[in-house]
Homo-oligomer: A and B are copies of this chain.
Amino acid sequence: MSVPLYQAKAEMFRTLGHPVRIRVLELLQDGPRPVRDLLAEIDVEASNLSQQLAVLRRVGIVVSFREGSLVMYALSTPDVADLLAAGRRILGAVLTDRDGLLVELRAQNRPGART
């Protein structure tokens, strides 16, 4: 396996390695959303959010388009949901119970629960 391929994989994962970006992807799992909505839910400066969105766009994990005066974002592939789910499972396996995060995570893993 070539070195560039691991780099591409690493870049992919590194891209998810930021709280704001994770949050964005979780929100987008439910369908396309305007930046304005994301901003309302994430508590971060507009310019910061915009930068994180740019990172996600750069690797192609999300796409954006204009709808009237709003800019919408959407996942470029639904596979992202699998990745997030797998991440949660690992976290569940790994967390003993630091800070009670485990309890919160368990709640999300209930069938039908959204992240």
Q: Please report the C-alpha to C-alpha distance between residue A105 and residue B5 in the assembled complex, in whole angstroms.
A: 8
Shortest distance between the CB of A13 and any CB in chain B (Å): 4
Residues of B within 8 A of A60 (CB): 94-95
Interface string of A101-112 (1 = CB under 8 A from B): 100110010000
Interface string of A1-41 (1 = CB under 8 A from B): 11111111111111111111111000000000000000000
| Contact between B19 and A17, CB atoms less than 8 A apart | no
Give A71-100 interface residues, CB cut-off 8 Å to B: 76-77, 79-80, 82-84, 86-91, 93-95, 99
Residues of B within 8 A of A15 (CB): 17
Instruction: Count identical subunits in the complex.
Output: 2
**Interface check A64, CB cutoff 8 A:** no
A-side interface residues toward B, CB under 8 Å?
A: 1-23, 59-61, 76-77, 79-80, 82-84, 86-91, 93-95, 99, 101, 104-105, 108, 115
**A and B contact pairs by CB, cutoff 8 A, 17 listed:** A2-B101, A4-B101, A6-B19, A6-B20, A6-B23, A9-B84, A12-B90, A13-B17, A14-B14, A15-B17, A16-B17, A60-B94, A76-B93, A79-B86, A79-B93, A83-B86, A83-B90
